[in-house]
Every structure is written in C-alpha cells, then in structure tokens.
Amino acid sequence: MREIVFDTETTGLDPKTGDRMVEIGCVEMIGRVETGNTFHAYYNPERDMPAGAEAVHGLSASFLSDKGLFRDGAAELLEFLGDAPLVAHNASFDFGFLNNELQMVGLPEIDLGRMIDTVAMARKKFPGAKVSLDNLCTRFGVDRSHRIKHGALLDAELLAQVYVELTGGRQIGLGLSADTGTEASNAPVDSPVLPKPTGPRREARPHSASAAELAAHRTFLDQIETPIWLK
C-alpha cells in the first residue's frame, strides 16, 4: 500500500488567524518501506514571519520572499500526494494548514478520512509518555543528530522511521529482561543507522539450474547403486 508521510512548517499556529504554510516535505512509502521518492517545496506566505516561528524552523521572510506561491505549485503537490493515506505527527495541525492553502486557491480540501496521526498512535501505545518527535526518535533509536532546527522534509524522513516502529516495523526496542524474561520494548537501545544504498541497482541473479547442470546431476545420480529414495 502506498502512503505519504509529510510535515509542514508555518508562520504560526492557526490558519484561521492568517497564519500560512511556508514549507512542506513528503516521503513516499510502499508497504511501510521508503521508496526514495520525496516532494519538498518552500512557499512565499506573502506576509511577515513572526520571530517565534522563525526561531523554530529558521525560515525568514527574506529567505521566502523569492519562493513560489502555493497556488503555483499546488497541482504538483497534489499529483505527488495522489489518493494515498497521509501520515503526520499531530496530523490535524498539518491537515488544517494544507487544507487552508487549498481552500484559498479554490481547490478541494483533502478528506480527513485519509489522515493518520502518529501522535494518537504513540499515545495509545505509550500511555502517559512524552510523544514528541524527538522523544519517539530517542525511544526507537532513530538518529536525529543532524536535526538542528525543524525542517519539513527532514522531519518527514524521521517520522517515516518512527511510523514504521509504531506499526510493528523493525522492533529495534524489543528485548528480554534479564531478570524476568519479559519484553522490555519501552527502553531505548543503541541501533546502528545504515546508510541508504547509492550505487546502481543490481538485478537478481538467476537461481534455476542450467541444462548442463541438470545433465551432470542426472549422470551423478545414475552412478549411485540402490539409491535410498527408490526403497
């Protein structure tokens, strides 16, 4: 199944009071495996950038001033999203901003039935625990050492790994307690972060025996007297 994990950065907390989406990052997954296909865009919000918001994501009004408008890139974004379920952390926030942008340019809003909220998933799985993206990365051993500020694509890539863990995935926190023999899956453990392959994809090697190999095998079998498989 195709799913899109995404994150947004904004000028503030509420699109109803004039806040706008300024960045979106999307990661494609098929069967809970990242395909390597991503979508990333910055948008000129046509307004100022509050200092508090800039402190979170580092995107200034000056930086965004020469970026495209959402209406000019909406079709490309919607084509990437397709009809896939959309995964986000505190998804109602991201859906609210995305649908506000779509509404402003006269495009249909995205059905909330496509929304998968990893905050709700984490709260159900770990009642009472902190479920920020940083906390979940620590719990599951996801490397976030390169996350200095919030960034939509980086956060979507981290969330994709967390989503796999929340849905059973690699279970890198699953272990056995030395004294009780019970699962100790809530304890963070060190896990190596393997680099993504960068070389050309190598086609699978054929595994069927060749005609010559089959003939040699038959000759070998014919030399065996009273083989056990004929008894």
| Binding region for a divalent metal cation | 7, 9, 155
Closest C-alpha to 21, from 62, 74, 85, 90: 74
- Residue 43 has a CB neighbour count (10 Å cut-off) of 24
- CATH number of the domain at 155, please: 3.30.420.10
Residue 230 located in a structural domain: no
Residue 97 located in a structural domain: yes
Rounded-to-integer distance, Cα 118 and Cα 116, Å: 6
**pLDDT tens, 160-199?**
999 999 998 764 444 443 333 333 344 444 444 556 666 6
Residue 23 located in a structural domain: yes
Task: Please count the structural domains in the chain.
Answer: 1
Residue 152 located in a structural domain: yes
Residue 100 located in a structural domain: yes
| Binding region | 7, 9, 57, 155
- Catalytic residue ranges: 150
H/E stretch holding 35: strand 33-42
**pLDDT tens, 74-116?**
999 999 999 999 999 999 999 999 999 999 999 999 999 999 9
Residue 191 located in a structural domain: no
Domain that holds residue 22: 2-166
